[in-house]
Structure 1
């Protein structure tokens, strides 16, 4: 483009532009680099009708020209929200019948229609109305729809109509405005959206309550329209936990609650998988029968909630009398909600279900397994902490085994003995335990020969510990001695396990956990006692040492007890103690474990 021409347009110098147009008649069709804009494109982005009027006089066919993005001047004016410029360009198109090429037409019947300019798409498929809605220019959108109501329902390359964009952005006034211009041809998909979605899907997903109310009012066909995945707007409300949207939809048409998607899931299953208790309340309040709905796997809402790890929803269902029928229902594989929670290692939910008296823990699935059978299956191979907590929850609740347990155990024992990888794993664990036990023995030995407070140098008690008469010193000596000898016993036991015998290896692993827990506990007590001996004055410092040591000791017990609770499961008293510790552990870290597992 001529530099003088470009400068004249961008600075609004009408007289220079007129002079250039008179001297070189074709100069107004020159293009800029690299966007290939004409002078009309550039002028449309400014509020200067005088420039546009001059271009109209000397180059009337500039109205149909496109830049490198496929934008006409009307696209640019609509994008910038210049209402006066948009009005002038529409009048220009009205008085000038453009000779559009076939690739710019939406339909062959549009030829000769001046309003076709309002439906010309750019390379993204956006019409000027798309651009006006994206820029939230209501006055511009009103003018465009007044001249061509059909443009409100023209979709771009992403399948989005201006009405869809307005609903997606929560532009209530835009939506109301567009719905005032219904199409004559009802066969056209006036609610266009990507992937088969409608503006109502978009409004639900974005939680625009006011827009949902407008779109859903009196439009049952829109409420029950499915996207490409077979999901209605109610499925979206259930997925996103949008209770107000779900309430609005159900008030208009309760049949939406009984529509399933392509995967066989009803809205209640979508809500259950996300743990949206508020949606479940709304669904049951309007469609109590939806509690009986099953997905393609024969699973109810409690099955899905337990499988997905939604403990709050599980608790709500258990506390709702109308949903008691779901507690022990089985799916197509014979699994109850307790089975599924166990399979997917959700210890908090397993604990909730296992301690509910209405839950039948004896129920076996189609494979003849109870929940405990599933939890214990392959528990000796490398496992996650969540699985270990799940097993702990069932054992502390006294869950039973199935009738086929002895056969399964025999098969697992044989497979374990023949598995070289499993043996290698156990040996790696033993090597780790040997290292820890040796470290404890080394530390306690050093503490035993270096007494807190030092030794006496005067006769007749030369070589005696200075603080040997203090009661706290006695605690230190006893705890340190026990820690050292227990760790030494542990080292010897684990050395025996290196002989390669499978039964001896498993026995050593089971025995090593309580021994190591005892050694670490005694070492912690010895450390706290030794520090307290030398810093108990001032009193506040000694109190801090004792408090810190007590909390640390409690943490050690909480972390170690679930690791070998299976040794105690047959004793009711110990099972109750371990159950309390387990609940404390679940409360502290169970939810975080679930989040990490996701």
Structure 2
């Protein structure tokens, strides 16, 4: 019926005369004085009005009347004056199918829309209140979209039928209200028995409540429309699955308290709720689900061998793994195998994730000797990992597996450096050459920078030069011990930096034996140049400040002295932490002498 009214109104619009330029300007700017001069109903009897009242019905090429224009800009007084002259303007629609009420609500002018609604009620224009635009969004849609709560309540009181309308995006006012978190409006919409709850993406209001975690709305919808709990969206996700995916524990509790059978849901793809929780690592919803449904399914329906523990391991959710292993009814999952015969430990080792491996090995009932369909145990998968992937995580996993079963011959236990050297391939050689070039470039840049700094400092001496006759050009503070220390450290740093730069530019880096030697020499000389530069800096400042700011000079020296310690600690921190965590015995067995520097690609890259 609303569509028929809109179509007839548009047909009438085509017969309306064009709007006068003066009237359009007045409506745009809200010039009420101009309005009074143009229309005879407001003008002085002694003056001749420019327009008649019928001229207010003129439209723009877009079909907007002066009331439409004033509603766009929120000019309340102008709009009320125009309607006082011609009330029929209240029901006129433009080419977008919009009435003045719809326009005012869409542009967020709640006060103006409220006045227009009251006038429609007074005139009995119920169809005008129900009108919608080309998107089939009515005034209630726009009021909720703009957060105009008072206007939305007034619209519902005036025309409850607005709650039944769904726009072209399949959005109902209730769905929009729940999505925006407007609980008062949503509860009022729920009181209307035939109000629509549809939403976009084939979702509905209960989906929105589950996604937002609104327990109150979810509980009310479950009471009035319990069937919605089993209606899925375009992704085949039901409201309870959304609550699991978004970790909304409170909403999940409401669902299960109302209908415990919802906890045993399995979608068309075969995923259980526990699997969905494991994929995302949501421990809270999994715990709540098992509190209500202790025997909730944990296997993939179409792939019976895939458990929620497999999913948690594949996604690296350590806390969820620990939760499963601490739950009595789920501890048996630790030894369950998939279609390839692999347990969760196989996947954890294959991904070199020390945290997941440690969590699985903490279970007393775990069997580390299980073979997959290819005859490989979890420990044997370590040998199949390529050398360039053998980082600290790989080493931690290796030690964890050795601790779990020291007699397992499948665990590679040789010194890592020797093993990598034996397995060196053409690709690793190419990688080493690239890394060597990058090392020499970076080292030479650092060396040249240090040489430049120290060279410049030697000719910009602290304290300046003496200008007295017979002592011209001699540094003023040349007799101070701190100044002499400055000269010594600066010279040593500059010479060391120059040597490093020359080695990087002229050395024979293509030979492995030379490379190993060059790395050792340049590393030590660069460190020595770094230390010398810091010492020269501290000595120079001490020379200048010691006479008047002795405490400041000492503080600067202490701070500079701390820099090398901090540098060493940061560079060695991963190894120190691993050494502390594993213990000296396991660390020595795994690494051997870590200071040994073979020219293998992975070790060389770690050092660079």
TM-score by length of 2: 0.65
Aligned equivalent of 1:327? 334
Q: Structure 1's 575 and 243: CA in aligned 2 closer, same or farther, altered over 3 A?
A: farther
Shift of 1:228: 0.8
Is 1:553 the counterpart of 2:568? The answer is: yes
Aligned equivalent of 1:314? 321
Is 1:390 the counterpart of 2:410? The answer is: no
Aligned equivalent of 1:54? 85
Is the 2:244–2:252 Cα contact (8 Å) retained in structure 1? yes
Shift of 1:160: 0.9
Is the 1:218–1:252 Cα contact (8 Å) retained in structure 2? no
Out of 14, 20, 23, the residue aligned to residue 5 of structure 1 is 23
Shift of 1:164: 0.6
Aligned equivalent of 1:122? 133
Out of 543, 552, 574, the residue aligned to residue 588 of structure 2 is 574
Q: How far, CA to CA, are the matches of 1:443 and 1:351 in structure 2?
A: 46
Q: How far, CA to CA, are the matches of 2:561 and 2:382 in structure 1?
A: 39
Out of 89, 102, 124, the residue aligned to residue 120 of structure 2 is 89
Aligned equivalent of 1:70? 97
Out of 256, 259, 266, the residue aligned to residue 262 of structure 2 is 256
Aligned equivalent of 2:12? none
Is the 1:328–1:337 Cα contact (8 Å) retained in structure 2? yes
Q: How far, CA to CA, are the matches of 2:378 and 2:583 in structure 1?
A: 15
Is the 2:177–2:185 Cα contact (8 Å) retained in structure 1? yes
Is the 2:136–2:167 Cα contact (8 Å) retained in structure 1? yes
Aligned equivalent of 2:196? 190
Q: How far, CA to CA, are the matches of 2:395 and 2:313 in structure 1?
A: 17
Which structure 1 segments of 5+ residues have no match?
95-114, 184-188, 406-411, 445-465, 467-476, 498-503, 579-598
Is 1:152 the counterpart of 2:163? The answer is: yes
Is 1:39 the counterpart of 2:50? The answer is: no
Give the number of aligned pairs.
490
Aligned equivalent of 1:164? 175
Deviation string, structure 1 residues 346-376 (Cα, Å, up to 9, x no partner): 4433344346554433333333333444444
Is the 1:124–1:156 Cα contact (8 Å) retained in structure 2? yes
Q: Structure 1's 8 and 569: CA in aligned 2 closer, same or farther, altered over 3 A?
A: closer
TM-score by length of 1: 0.66
Is 1:350 the counterpart of 2:361? The answer is: no
Aligned equivalent of 1:304? 311
Is the 1:40–1:55 Cα contact (8 Å) retained in structure 2? no
SS at match of 1:327: helix
Q: Structure 1's 321 and 217: CA in aligned 2 closer, same or farther, altered over 3 A?
A: same
Q: How far, CA to CA, are the matches of 2:271 and 2:310 in structure 1?
A: 13
SS at match of 1:122: coil
Is the 1:342–1:374 Cα contact (8 Å) retained in structure 2? yes
Deviation string, structure 1 residues 218-258 (Cα, Å, up to 9, x no partner): 53212222111111122222222222222222222222222
Between 525-534 and 270-279, the greater mean CA deviation after superposition = 525-534
SS at match of 1:158: coil
Is the 1:161–1:192 Cα contact (8 Å) retained in structure 2? yes
Shift of 1:176: 1.4
Is the 1:521–1:553 Cα contact (8 Å) retained in structure 2? no
Q: Structure 1's 262 and 532: CA in aligned 2 closer, same or farther, altered over 3 A?
A: farther
Q: Structure 1's 367 and 390: CA in aligned 2 closer, same or farther, altered over 3 A?
A: farther
Out of 347, 351, 354, the residue aligned to residue 340 of structure 1 is 347
Q: Structure 1's 333 and 53: CA in aligned 2 closer, same or farther, altered over 3 A?
A: farther
Aligned equivalent of 1:367? 374
Shift of 1:150: 3.5
Aligned equivalent of 1:207? 213
Q: How far, CA to CA, are the matches of 1:300 and 1:52 in structure 2?
A: 69
Between 333-342 and 160-169, the greater mean CA deviation after superposition = 333-342
SS at match of 1:283: helix
Is the 1:376–1:391 Cα contact (8 Å) retained in structure 2? no
Please tell me the root mean square deviation across aligned C-alpha atoms, in Å.
5.1
